């Protein structure tokens, strides 16, 4: 008789991907899975646009900064950054990676994004975080984000679409293309990339990705 109760040996345990940790909001696991990854393309594109305009590095919010891949790039390019995340352990990773010479330009805040507030800024960066907002509080958060960005400033980040597998989770904020277009009504689109692809998690279960990758300049 096969023993169905037997625990898998370490060799049989599947290696979990970042998405497996994100699926269950295991953020410490997520940080370990993405350690050392470069900044997000949307962040880099937005920063390149500021540079192309010859603008001085200003003040940025990195909302849902995680272990800091984007915050570090903002600091490297001379920005002052308020890095916000609901998971305190994010900052154990981030603080270790911030070079002492630029540490004076970063402020770290442990806060739920739903409760976070800040003053006027030039750039709100929020990579792969807004979908984890409480849906009942998403509109309020987005209104605060838009209101905080100065004219000529930018938003960069991701929205998850209505055809994404996780759109069925009641605690996630997903949007149709029309909704994303409406939310960005006051912005010039510098990148509006809609991506759909299939992937499998570490356990062989299919995950459909439907993601909007956005870089937008406030009019
Ligand atoms: C998928 S990770 C993305 C991290 C990083 N921005 C990146 O691109 O790798 C989502 C991040 O959002 C944070 N997060 C999730 N829900 C949150 C909430 N309600 N308030 C604040 N942060 C939250 C998590 O702690 C995590 O660091």
Sorted by sequence, the CB contacts under 8 Å of residue 174 that are 6+ apart come out as 131, 159, 160, 161, 162, 164, 166, 167, 210
Question: Phi/psi of residue 9, each to 5°?
Answer: -75, 165
| Direct distance between the N- and C-terminal alpha carbons of the chain, in angstroms, rounded to an integer | 69
| pLDDT one-digit tens code per residue, 120-179 | 999 999 999 999 999 999 999 999 999 999 999 999 999 999 999 999 999 999 999 999
Distance CA 157, CA 188 (A): 15
Q: Does 85 contact ligand 1 (Cβ within 6 A)?
A: yes
| pLDDT value, residue 14 | 82
Q: Does 39 contact ligand 1 (Cβ within 6 A)?
A: no
Q: Does 79 contact ligand 1 (Cβ within 6 A)?
A: no
Run of H or E residues at 156: strand 149-161
pLDDT average, residue stretch 63-82? 98
Q: Say if residue 97's pLDDT is above 80.
A: yes
Q: 132: CA distance to ligand 1 center in Å?
A: 7
Ligand 1 pocket: which of 33, 66, 94 to mutate (most atoms within 8 A of CB): 66
């Amino acid at each position: 008789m096969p023993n169905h109760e037997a625990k898998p040996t370490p060799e049989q345990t599947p290696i979990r991907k970042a998405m497996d940790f994100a699926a269950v909001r295991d953020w410490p696991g997520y940080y370990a899975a993405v350690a050392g990854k470069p900044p997000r393309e949307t962040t880099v594109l937005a920063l390149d646009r500021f540079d192309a305009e010859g603008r001085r590095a200003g003040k940025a919010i990195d909302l849902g900064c995680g272990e800091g891949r984007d915050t570090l790039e903002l600091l490297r390019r001379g920005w002052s950054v308020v890095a916000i995340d609901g998971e305190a352990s994010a900052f154990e990773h981030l603080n270790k990676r911030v070079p002492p010479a630029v540490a004076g330009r970063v402020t770290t805040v442990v806060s739920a994004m739903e409760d976070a507030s800040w003053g006027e800024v030039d750039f709100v960066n929020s990579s792969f975080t807004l979908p984890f907002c409480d849906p009942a509080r998403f509109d309020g958060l987005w209104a605060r984000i838009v209101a905080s960005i100065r004219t000529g400033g930018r938003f960069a980040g991701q929205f998850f679409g209505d055809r994404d597998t996780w759109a069925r989770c009641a605690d996630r904020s997903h949007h149709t293309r029309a909704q994303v277009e409406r939310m960005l009504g006051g912005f010039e689109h510098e990148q509006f990339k809609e991506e759909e692809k299939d992937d499998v998690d570490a356990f062989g279960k299919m995950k459909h990705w439907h993601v909007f990758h956005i870089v937008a300049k406030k009019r």
